[in-house]
Structure 1
């Protein structure tokens, strides 16, 4: 009888508790620092060590040499490192584009913010390329009519920023109005098609570069800018990028 009474009481309590509303009243957290005191799993470490050693060897491989440090802030409307980046895209991307299409890249446009680190004086390694270009951006070539090129040039004049260019020569007055814009040393023809190399991020509207979407054709080279940098550095014993008159302002 006592056992049955206990069972009845337990059932009543269970039913009563099911009807209660539960509210979260307090959340407590605790910070657990990650430090050297955490024991190393030697079995896992031994397994990944060959991969880590090979990666470190590849990343530290010397490809070229920089006679001084190049930073993206070392210039107003064009910088030595930006000019180098645009040149690399043209130098390494054009042979691929030409082989596939029989055409040539007319100009290059990249973004100033895409340069994420300086090239420091001394040896240039594979790691240098990863530091400067850590993103997985690939080269695309966009066919633009002269009217879209006008929009591109107008964008650059209003951005007032050292977006890397190659093949385009742009001169602004003291109020940032366009004085002259040339591609391959010739005035822009509104009826002509120009082939502009850029990266997939900008092609998709990055940095508000919406003019790329009004195009005749887009060609994907399946070639990362970082890989183009590595290929270029392997061929050049010593880099020598410079500021020039490709994008200037008349004071």
Structure 2
């Protein structure tokens, strides 16, 4: 009798498993799926007419945004450009100095360390700053991307690769906190960080963008970081914050990166 009872139990157990699997399969078959997607292209041009109800709803927000974007924050006494110098420019120097000044307190509070160097990319500056009032819209024009400031800790050996990259690129990539002087043949004449020679045995904290830290513009030396700190501080917001604090923008082409003649 015990064997028969055990046999009956197994039959019941197998039946329950069979029913469960069957129900699961039937449920899966009943899930609706998308078989096709169709769409129409709606052209919006000068012939399009506004819908009054939508226009009335949007207008207050539009007007407020325009007010914020056009409100003067600072003044530029001359045009600030990324093409007014060979190896460093007024726009590049301004951008790098802003990143250094505005990001330093954030990085210091989070890590207890100081930013040694800033390196951005020449192509990241998308517009000139015209003479006259400087606004939040100016920052959006110069930096339309959502790039944030990232600080990476690099060994001295990685900075040597960075120096080699800059000497071969022959471009005015924005830098701050360091000086690079090239010989006539583009070899490195001198390189210093905060006025001191590079120490190969030391690590340095370099502020850059989240685009470059992943190897953008072939700056692969950033991938050799010892540590990384994402400040979540957008470069554009750093610019706006800086514009709000100062009255006049007065960057100049200086000796932070140049070639001996």
TM-score (norm 1): 0.86
Match of 1:62, SS state, is coil
CA distance in structure 1 between the partners assigned to 2:169 and 2:44 by the alignment? 44
Residue aligning to 1:216? 226
The CA RMSD measured in Å over matched residues stands at 1.2
Equivalent positions of 1:31-42 (< 5 A) are 34-42=44-52
Q: Paired residue for 1:115, among 125, 130, 136?
A: 125
Residue aligning to 1:13? none
The Cα shift of 1:34 comes to 4.5
Equivalent positions of 1:41-190 (< 5 A) are 41-190=51-200
CA distance in structure 2 between the partners assigned to 1:207 and 1:173 by the alignment? 24
Which runs of 5 or more structure 2 residues have no equivalent in the other structure?
1-40
Which runs of 5 or more structure 1 residues have no equivalent in the other structure?
1-30
Tell me the alpha carbon deviations over residues 127-169 of structure 1, each in whole angstroms, 9 at most, x when there is no partner.
Answer: 0000000000000000001000000010000000000000110
Tell me the alpha carbon deviations over residues 204-238 of structure 1, each in whole angstroms, 9 at most, x when there is no partner.
Answer: 11100000011110001010000000000111000
Residue aligning to 2:12? none
CA distance in structure 1 between the partners assigned to 2:77 and 2:217 by the alignment? 32
CA distance in structure 2 between the partners assigned to 1:168 and 1:77 by the alignment? 13
Distance 1:144 1:33, change over 3 A: closer
CA distance in structure 1 between the partners assigned to 2:43 and 2:228 by the alignment? 49
Match of 1:190, SS state, is coil
CA distance in structure 2 between the partners assigned to 1:234 and 1:128 by the alignment? 12
Query: Number of paired residues?
Result: 221
TM-score (norm 2): 0.83
Q: Paired residue for 1:234, among 235, 241, 244?
A: 244
